Amino acid sequence: MVKRRYGDDTDRTGFDETRNYLTDAVSRVVPQWLARRAVTIEVDTDRTTYDAGDPVEITVRIRNRLPLPVEVVTATRRRWGWRVDDVLEATDEQRYLRDEPTAVAFRAGETKTATVTWNGHFRRKGPDGLDRSVPADRGEHTISVFLPVTDPRPAHEDSMRIQIR
């Protein structure tokens, strides 16, 4: 599978979304409760220890454990998301996403992989109202990824700890 970068103009979600009509048809037969149970998410980074200011490559893998295609409906237009220390995309800037659901389709046993790079900084709104980039403090930080489904289960979120020295 070719690794794509999250944020590329050619693939905004990080997934290769080649349309498969058989997957579309079969996945509609699988009830949503079963589809959500079948899908798991995992996070990994390229290392566990970083120097201050080093970029952190975050890899997310979302897997359909069933031997048949499924389609998972998300609560918003976001198909998956990431956080650093519970800060969405390491920024407190407001994100504008429509509150309408979308769906992620999986072929039988398919694993979707995407990569995003965190620059080791948090975007913070300063007292003057302007955004500024603040380096992450030295010490331990938690990187987490999630599927924005309406009834999240432990399988729909994963996290790991990294160290910044």
* Residue 19: per-residue pLDDT: 62
Q: How many CB atoms lie within 10 A of CB 133?
A: 12
pTM (predicted TM-score)? 0.80
CATH class for domain 21-164?
Answer: mainly beta
Map out the domains of the chain as residue ranges. 21-164
Amino acid 49: pLDDT = 97
Residue 128 burial by Cβ neighbours in a 10 Å radius (0-12, 13-18, 19+): exposed
**The predicted structure's pLDDT at residue 10:** 42
Q: Give per-residue pLDDT as tens, 63-121.
A: 999 999 999 998 888 889 999 999 999 987 777 667 788 889 999 999 999 999 999 99
